[in-house]
Structure 1
Amino acid sequence: MSRHTAAGLANLEVLDTTLRDLASSDPAIRVLTADSRISGRLGPFAREFPDRLVELGIAEQNLVGVAAGLASCGMKPFVISPACFLTARALEQIKVDVGYSGTAVRLVGISAGISYGALGASHHSIADYAALRAIPGIPVVAPADNCEAEAAIRLAAATDGPLYIRLGKRALACVHGPTSEPVAIEHATRLRTGDDIGIIATGETVGIALEAAEALALGGVEATVVSMPMVRPLDTATLFGVARRVGGLIVAEEHSVHGGLGEACAAALMTEGIPVRFRALGIPDEPIVNGPQLDVLAHYGIGPEQLAALARELLV
């Protein structure tokens, strides 16, 4: 049963409570971090399982290598580090020690996308989908809320192979609403149904898509909104079903327009031969501006009002 149906829990709180629950019945669970601020935020886990949390300091390449070694010895390591450093600085280790080797390392990139908006491009993580989608054997998951985050962590623990979970920084409202049933993230979820426009989103853009759909409904435009947490492998059945039903389709993501969910959906639709008016909405191919996360997203058209305006334009 999900304990994270309400808003207000940030990603590290969800990680901590879920990992503690898993570790209580699975002695193989290990947590590795590369920043003392992260391990400090996982204080409840550290106090309950002091011999199962390892802080390696700011050394992401070593972090992944140590985790791969633990996995090869039968442990279930969860690697937790800011996504911008984990998927860039340690990309070779992820490629060789995890992906190519098929090692069951659970990679958790926190404060992803432009969560560190004011800190500049060095702290933005808008190429992680592209990088990891190009490495064989690593599923890529971007939860939209606390319910999906908990489901992703539990899926990772139960998966005998590598997996990348991408989490933001701020606390999120639960897009699935109150539920006593676990949320399944292996497939996409239709959160709203309408025949005019389809909006497929992943991660934190799902909430924005739902707000845009509400604004569209006020003007008589009904939208289907889909949460697509699995960026890879892609739920093509849901994608094709929505595309065949609506008059236009928008894919929204907090990622570069190159190599992310938008390109994956476009390629799948073209390969299947499904004709639909289509737009991929993400960070464009230009030096990214800096500032608060939601302001930066709005600057690039990834806000409720801008997304609703794009939908209306697509239907003209």
Structure 2
Amino acid sequence: MADKIATRHAYGEALSELGKEPNVVALDADVSTCTMSCMFGEKYPDRFYNVGIAEANMVGIAAGMSTLGQIPFIHTFAMFAAGRTYDQIRNTLAYPHLNVKVVGTHAGLTVGEDGATHQCLEDLGLMRAIPEMVVICPCDGNETKQAVRAIASYNGPCYLRLGRLAVDVVTEFPGYKFEIGKAQSLKDGTDATIIATGIMVQIALKAAAELEKENINVRVLNMHTIKPIDKDAIINAAKETGAIITAEEHNVLTGLGSAVSEVVTDTVPVPVLKVGTEDTFGKSGNAEALMERFGLNKENIIEKVKKSISMKK
């Protein structure tokens, strides 16, 4: 297994590599050493713009640049990318379907000591509610790098959610290929399906391994694209395993769990139980301790898997 790497760090490497394309530009709201867009800035200073703490203006500048044939990647913390600039993203980028990539780093509880004001647990919901917005949350460094290349090739607005913590690489195996809107099966199973995104993919795999010791065979789907969501993978999981558990470092309202539930209720109604924050703000503290405090752990996933199986008809 490869060494742990934060998705934001892998992103910086990928963006720097992508800079070989002369129409790629990067803008940052004065946090480039945190978002890792600084790697691009060091290699291509003539195409890197620090707009300062003016996130809304950054969106407008990027929108204008995109109309001239450039591909802007804009960067700030997820709380500001999805929250502070929501109006500009909705009306200035998405409504005219401009080719701008919004990158929100430091998402979720694992921002840790920065506390509730910076722990964005609503961004997936905010961004997926915008018409025609692509929403992606990669689980590891390898997937992040492939996702960056994919969204650069996609003509339209995208939101890419990245984390602060270094995480295990679980997608670096032969045959792995990132495709927008296509979930990746990381483990097969027949008793239930865990559909996870971001850092929760690694935790889901650990939960599945523990359940295997109890002869409970669980499928694990890596749902890196929240929108457009892979309806076929969800429907197949519902038909073939009869129970679904979602896992996300996000509010259980409006995010992955809601998106999966919408598909299931319209097609193959089966139990859908959700692991995530329960409609609450975060707290300041150690990142790993916060994940435990809010139940974003393998123990909670295991409990939900067993409960969902007991609910099967």
Pick the TM interval, shorter chain.
Answer: over 0.9
The residue aligned with 2:161 is 166
Partners of 2:157 and 2:35 in 1: CA distance: 25
Answer whether contact 2:15 2:37 (CA < 8 A) is retained.
no
Partners of 1:270 and 1:254 in 2: CA distance: 23
Partners of 1:282 and 1:9 in 2: CA distance: 23
Partners of 1:180 and 1:22 in 2: CA distance: 22
How far residue 160 of structure 1 moved from its aligned partner, in angstroms, is 1.2
> Counterpart amino acid of 2:10?
V
How far residue 178 of structure 1 moved from its aligned partner, in angstroms, is 3.2
Answer whether contact 1:38 1:81 (CA < 8 A) is retained.
no
Partners of 1:36 and 1:85 in 2: CA distance: 11
How far residue 162 of structure 1 moved from its aligned partner, in angstroms, is 0.5
| 1:111 and 2:102 aligned | no
Answer whether contact 1:294 1:303 (CA < 8 A) is retained.
no
How far residue 181 of structure 1 moved from its aligned partner, in angstroms, is 5.5
SS in 1 for 2:110: coil
Give deviations 1:222-277, integer Å, cap 9, x for gaps: 110000011011101000101111142101111111111111111111111x1322
How far residue 182 of structure 1 moved from its aligned partner, in angstroms, is 4.1
Partners of 2:40 and 2:85 in 1: CA distance: 25
| 1:83 and 2:73 aligned | no
Answer whether contact 1:39 1:55 (CA < 8 A) is retained.
no
> Counterpart amino acid of 1:27?
P
How far residue 301 of structure 1 moved from its aligned partner, in angstroms, is 2.0
> Counterpart amino acid of 2:276?
G
Of the three residues 297, 305, 309, the one matched with 1:311 is: 305
Distance 1:120 1:214, change over 3 A: same
Aligned length: 310
The residue aligned with 2:236 is 241
The residue aligned with 2:285 is 291
Answer whether contact 1:35 1:58 (CA < 8 A) is retained.
yes
> Counterpart amino acid of 1:309?
E
How far residue 36 of structure 1 moved from its aligned partner, in angstroms, is 4.1
The residue aligned with 2:296 is 302
How far residue 31 of structure 1 moved from its aligned partner, in angstroms, is 0.7
The residue aligned with 2:210 is 215
Answer whether contact 1:6 1:178 (CA < 8 A) is retained.
no
Of the three residues 185, 190, 205, the one matched with 2:200 is: 205
Please tell me the root mean square deviation across aligned C-alpha atoms, in Å.
1.8
How far residue 185 of structure 1 moved from its aligned partner, in angstroms, is 4.3
How far residue 311 of structure 1 moved from its aligned partner, in angstroms, is 1.2
SS in 1 for 2:19: helix
Q: Which moved more, 1:296-305 or 1:27-36?
A: 296-305
Distance 1:180 1:59, change over 3 A: same
SS in 2 for 1:186: coil
Distance 1:13 1:118, change over 3 A: closer
| 1:194 and 2:189 aligned | yes
Q: Percent identity?
A: 32
Distance 1:21 1:215, change over 3 A: same
TM-score norm. by structure 2 comes to 0.93
| 1:65 and 2:60 aligned | yes
Answer whether contact 1:147 1:174 (CA < 8 A) is retained.
yes
Q: Which moved more, 1:303-312 or 1:206-215?
A: 303-312
SS in 1 for 2:108: coil
> Counterpart amino acid of 1:18?
A
Give deviations 1:87-143, integer Å, cap 9, x for gaps: 101111101111112111101101111222222211011111111111111110000
Distance 1:95 1:279, change over 3 A: same
